[in-house]
Amino acid sequence: MRIATWNINSITARLPRLLGWLESSGTDVLCVQETKCTDEQFPYDELRELGYEAAVNADGRWNGVAVLSRVGLADVVKGLPEGPAYEGVQEPRAVSATCGGAVRVWSVYVPNGREIGHAHYAYKLLWLDALRAAVAGSAAGDLPFAVLGDYNVAPADEDVWDVSVFEGATHVTAPERDALAALRATGLTDVVPRPLKYDHPYTYWDYRQLAFPKNRGMRIDLVYGNAAFAKAASDAYVDREERKGKGASDHAPVVVDLAV
C-alpha cells in the first residue's frame, strides 16, 4: 500500500496537478492539508472518477484536511478530540480514518504559530498536546497507525536550510520540538529518516526569493508511525518533482510504501 501526505495549498487551484499526480504515483491513500475550500466545494466527483473516496474536514477558510483512499474508508473521525479553539473556533485541522482495513491514518495540519509570544503560538502548543493525548492509544496498538501531515515544526536544525535564519522565529523553537518529542514518546517514530536519496529531504520551500531553485527549504511535512507501521514501511521519499513547474504547491508530497 502506498501512503502519502501533501499540503496542497488549495485543492481547487491545484486539482489538475492532484489528479495527475494520483494517477502517475500509484498512491492508494493520500492525506491532504490546506484544502482551502468548503465541504460543498470539495472535488468529490472528480476524485470518485479516479476511484477515490474522501473523508473531509473543511470550512472554506485557510485550513482544511482530507484523507483520500482507493482502498476504502471506515471509522472516520473529523476534528481533534478535546482540541483547543482559536478565537472561539474549532478549526478543521484533523481527520482520521481506517483504510483498507489495514492501516489507520490521521491527516493533520498543525497551526503555524505565527510568531513567538503570539496567541497563535500558544494555541499551536496546546494543539500539539491535544494531538498527543488523542493518538496515544492508537500509537500503542498493533494495527499500523500513522499521523501524517504538515506539522509546521522542523524536528532538528538539519531540517532547515540555515538555522541561523530562523533565530527568534517559530518552527524551530525548543517548546515546539519538545511537543514533537512528546508525541513520538507515545510510541511513534519518524518513518522518513534522513538522509534519503539526497542530503536534505526538505518538503517545503517558500515561493519567494527563488527558495526552491536554491534549495532553501524546510522539512516540516512528517510521517510519524507506530511500531507496526514502521515495521511495514519498505520505502520512503519526498517527491521533489511535484514542487517544480507552474502552479505547484509550496510543499512536496511525502510518500511511504507499506508491505500490508
DSSP tag of 31: E
Measured between alpha carbons, how far is residue 233 from residues 7, 87, 162, 223, 258 in Å?
Answer: 21, 39, 30, 11, 4
The total domain count for the chain is 1
CATH number, domain with residue 171? 3.60.10.10
What pLDDT, on the 0 to 100 scale, is given for residue 150? 98
Strand partners, 204: 218, 251
What pLDDT, on the 0 to 100 scale, is given for residue 198? 54
What pLDDT, on the 0 to 100 scale, is given for residue 108? 98
Residue at grid coordinates 532538528: 156
Enter the pTM of the model. Answer: 0.96
What pLDDT, on the 0 to 100 scale, is given for residue 200? 61
Q: Note down the domain range covering 122.
A: 2-258
pLDDT tens sequence for the chain (260 residues) = 999 999 999 999 999 999 999 999 999 999 999 999 999 999 999 999 999 999 999 998 889 999 999 999 999 999 999 999 999 999 999 999 999 999 999 999 999 999 999 999 999 999 999 999 999 999 989 999 999 999 999 999 999 999 999 999 999 999 999 999 999 999 999 998 665 555 568 999 999 999 999 999 999 999 999 999 999 999 999 999 999 999 999 999 999 999 98
Distance CA 143, CA 55 (A): 20
The DSSP string of 221-260 is: EEEEE-HHHHHHEEEEEE-GGGGSSTT--SB--EEEEE--
Q: 82 Cβ partners below 8 Å, 6+ apart?
A: 130, 133, 134
Measured from the Cβ of residue 116, the count of other Cβ atoms closer than 10 Å reads 13
Q: 248 Cβ partners below 8 Å, 6+ apart?
A: 14, 17, 242
Distance CA 219, CA 156 (A): 9
